[in-house]
Structure 1
Amino acid sequence: MTSILSLSSVLLALKLCSGEWCYEGQLSCESECTGPSEWKKSFLQCGGQNQSPINIITRKVKHDPELTSFIFDGHEDIFNMSVENHGQSAHFTLPESVRLRGGGLSATYKAVQFHLHWGKDDGQGSEHSVDGERYPMEVSSEQNKNLDKIIEALGKVKHEGNSSEIEDFRLADIIPQANTLSYYRYSGSLTTPGCDQSVVWTVFQQTLPISKTQLTSMYKQVLFATEKPMTGIFRPVQDLNGRVVYTSVKSHCLCVLPNLIALFLCLFCVFGQQRCFH
């Protein structure tokens, strides 16, 4: 059996609120942090009408002919990439050369960093879901060797504040070619406090495979700031509240494989004049 890793790369360097909020997997009788269901009490936007992630219902999505293919710049480049444990997740910093354009967006976006979302064992791990399917696994017998460098790097950043570097990394080894990617598009928010709602989400329909052994290696190597194993690092799905989800694929071509149970995610966001790639 092979898991599907939900990869979420953020285009904005975010400062996470320390010690005040946490994921459901961090809650315990001893914890004093605020779980996802209570975020809105401390961070008002987390209770807004345009929150993310969401469950995408494929029979209700609308085709938008303006959602053209993406063009990735710098994804074939070989570079050194740093990784740091931020206490709630591990962030991978990308070089200035990595850009993205097309995809119905009006500008070129710079990729700043990406981070990963996972569950535990056979439990759910992706943030978004498609037709209610939200699990970390699909039927396969092969490991994703291209993720070995990332898994090895996570083993070097076990504790909050730890950092390391991956040498000779190429983003194209883990991200499919731009012109092969079909996707959904909707307006939403960041999935961590303060849940800013100035986000344009692109959810790719293709999956990123990872074996169960590889997934287990990830979450057993990395710890939360509380020193608990870093598992269940995802926000539950939020109400759509009348928002429309669009797709780059014409309706007669749109299909979702029955074993599609997690997503490779890409978030694009704009804050004022600052353009960012997630």
Structure 2
Amino acid sequence: MAQWCYQSQYSCDDTCRDPSHWAALFPSCGGLRQSPINIVSSKVHVNSALPPFDFIGHTNTLNITVENKGHSAHFHLPQSVRLTGGALPGHYRASQFHFHWGGNGNPGSEHTIDGERFPMELHIVHIKEPYGTLAEAEHDLAGIALLGFLFEESADDHPHLDPIIAALGRVQNNGSTTVIPNFRLSDVIPSSRELHNYYRYVGSITTPGCEQAVTWTLFHKTLAISSRQLDAIVKQCRFWNGQPMTNIFRPTQPLDGRVVYRSSAVKPLSSAFHLWFCFLLAAALGTTGLIH
């Protein structure tokens, strides 16, 4: 079977199949619940039943393996990193995280917001318990929970991305691996109290076979990356055919009648503010004769 590839590879090597031809090799890639999508903010439905997440093991210090998979680099996570809440139907164990980026100064996120593509996107892949592998979870419509984070360019470096960039430089070729010692996922993504606001929709894996078994969560809060770090990331790795690993994103797919939801969660009141508010409320009720 012919190899699949991104458009940037296909432009140099027409022996592989670019995203517009993935469905010919992998029928699910032509399904009606494909990802990524363009999120039109004016058409999003607010859903008050989307609560915050509970992250487990995100602050643990880990030694994680990084592997060049030929199409991207995977950062493998242990099963002690877990996820609950967020209206997910069960408990989910982390599998790996990876990034999607552009090249030559072009943005490379997979999801877009109101047509805007962001510089880079982080995906954290979780598998529903009790499944042991991604292949097992793909047969459950809610078997995979994918967390997406969009990056925005900032004047300052992200303080914890340089070890990731260095690791990518050690896995330049397909199949090569390395280890990042003393890694904490909480160094890369914000704490759960900053992640109450997110988009939610049902979709698919964004690479072949495009299995439609994903509950997608795309957080409103963006992550920072400097132009120096972004330039460094896109220059580190090579595809399976030896070409530079750039523009590793699938174009957005039709919504096909799906609804995108937005959580209505708000930041919890601080204890001081809560006491102050209760005092004012009691005073107001007292002046109206409702408190005796």
Give the structure-1-normalised TM-score: 0.81
Moved over 4 A (4+): none
Report how far residue 31 of structure 1 moved. Answer: 3.2
Q: Do 2:53 and 2:86's aligned partners in 1 also have CA atoms closer than 8 Å?
A: yes
Task: Tell me by how many angstroms 1:142 deviates.
Answer: 0.4
What letter corresponds to residue 123 of structure 1 in structure 2?
N
The structure showing larger relative contact order (alpha-carbon pairs under 8 Å, at least 6 residues apart) is: 1
1-structure distance, mates of 2:223, 2:118:
13
Indicate if the aligned counterparts of 2:152 and 2:222 stay in contact, CA closer than 8 A: no
- Identify which of 2, 18, 32 aligns with 1:35: 18
SS of match in other structure, 2:80: coil
Contact 1:68–1:103 (CA under 8 A) maintained in structure 2? yes
CA contact (8 A) 2:53 2:83 kept: yes
Supply the distance in 1 between the matched residues of 2:69 and 2:13 (Cα, whole angstroms): 21
Task: Tell me how far apart the structure 1 counterparts of residues 219 and 36 of structure 2 sit (CA, whole Å).
Answer: 14
| Residue equivalent to 1:64 | 47
Q: Are residues 1:237 and 2:220 paired?
A: no
In structure 2, what is the Cα distance between the partners aligned to 1:155 and 1:169? Answer: 17
Alignment gaps of 5+ in structure 2: 120-150, 268-292
1:120–1:57 CA distance, 2 compared to 1 (3 A): same
SS of 2:160's equivalent? helix
1:35-184 correspondence runs (5 A): 35-136=18-119, 138=152, 140-181=154-195, 182-184=197-199
Give the letter aligned to residue 161 of structure 2: L
Counterpart pick for 1:249 among 264, 275, 285: 264
23-32 or 92-101, which moves further after superposition?
Answer: 23-32
Aligned pairs for 1:178-257 (under 5 A) are: 178-181=192-195, 182-249=197-264
TM-score for the superposition, normalised by structure 2: 0.77
2:217 and 2:42 map into 1 onto residues whose CA distance is: 18
Distance 1:169 1:29 in 2: 36
The structure with the larger Rg is 2
Pairwise CA distance, 1:207: 1.1
What's the CA shift for 1:58?
0.7
RMSD: 1.7
1:10 equivalent in structure 2: none
Q: What is the CA distance between 1:135 and its match in structure 2?
A: 3.0
Task: Report if aligned partners of 1:71, 1:179 keep a CA contact under 8 Å in 2.
Answer: no
* Partner deviation per Cα, 1:227-273 (whole Å, 9 max, x = no partner): 111000000000001100001137x99xxxxxxxxxxxxxxxxxxxx
Matched letter for residue 240 of structure 1: L
C-alpha distance in structure 1 between counterparts of 2:55 and 2:69, whole Å: 27
Unaligned runs of 5+ in 1: 1-17, 254-278
Give 1:29 deviation, angstroms: 4.7
- Secondary structure at the aligned position of 1:233 is classed as coil
Aligned amino acid, residue 91 of structure 1: H
Note closer, same or farther for the CA distance 1:31–1:67 as it changes in structure 2 (3 Å cut).
same
Q: Distance in 2 between matches of 1:26 and 1:229?
A: 9
Give percent identity, aligned residues only.
Answer: 51
Answer yes or no: is the 8 Å Cα contact 1:21–1:39 preserved in 2. Answer: yes
| Structure 1 SS opposite 2:66 | strand
